Structure 1
Amino acid sequence: MEFLKTSLQDAVLIDLTKFEDARGFFARTFCAEEFGKQGLVTSFPQSNYSYNVARGTLRGMHYQKAPHGEVKLVRVVQGAILDVIIDLRPDSSTYLKWEGFELTAENARTLYVPVGFAHGFQTLEDDTHVTYQVSHPYTPGVEGGLRYDDPAFGIKWPLPVSTISDKDAAWPDADPAAGIPI
């Protein structure tokens, strides 16, 4: 695995080291030892799977409040997404900044999303399947969210939104001056 720094403090993009032959390729998608050497979280007690019917589907922007914050390892196993994260950690050098990453079944990249980040994605193809491992089990009642089109962040989504949940569409505008409770 190759661990690539992003423009956001502590967020990492992971490229697979592929061993290819006539059958295709083999690669490790996770190794606790290698993650540990990078100073990354190595325990992921919950795995999630998201199936998305239509291109343009938007999920996010979600986070879990302390002390239930989650590190996420996000991968696409079929299709493609633009995966977007926002740094919500007030003590971070990249506080309130966002970055988007194209994750596809073809590029087989993994995004490491640290605790204290909002996370969401938009599908770029129909029938997109996304898996993600999380470092803390989901805890009802402590989730938070930001609206995908909140002008405080100015996220540039590549497509018009075709599908979004009522909950994700209804998150209130953030007030960065007042702080965002994570």
Structure 2
Amino acid sequence: MRLNKIRNLCLFIIIVVCSLSCHDDKEVGSTRKLFDLNWKFSYESSSAAYKVDFDDSAWQHVDFPHKIARIPEDKQSKYNSVVNDTIWYRKTFDIPGSWERKTIYVVFEGISHVEIIFVNGEMLSFSDCDNNSCRVLISPNLLHNTTNLIAFPVSVENSPVSYEKSNGVLGVYKHVWLQIEEP
């Protein structure tokens, strides 16, 4: 009898722990999809990298989190000892037609020095950022049932002062999510 009580208590504890670990603390009607995989990355700064038809075939394939400590010396300007430079990230992705009436955000849990984001070649403004995390509304710029592009530059001041301010981490150093909300 006592063994049954202990077994039932253990089963109850397991169920409670599992339900708490599966609990979604986001808003009701909200779903998150991991958006970390299959990004492209370049140390080269290009004024056209935000465009849909830009050729990124020579860029590196990366997954997030993607941390860089400093720009490699062979990529630095030979004219300045303190370099202000830019790195770029790009990703193509599809949005199902079933999401057409939903509100969709891209959520960066940790990103350094980003000021603008482009979706399908259009610059987005955002203000929901604090402490290097951002949530950016992208649904108005998405195309459904076809390929979309997200691109953004990350400003990199390659100096000891900038390095210390960013805690030695540059790039997208935590996870990225698509957050899908019911209207």
**TM-score normalised over the length of structure 1:** 0.34
**TM-score normalised over the length of structure 2:** 0.34
Bigger-Rg structure (1/2)? 2
Q: Which has the higher helix share?
A: 2
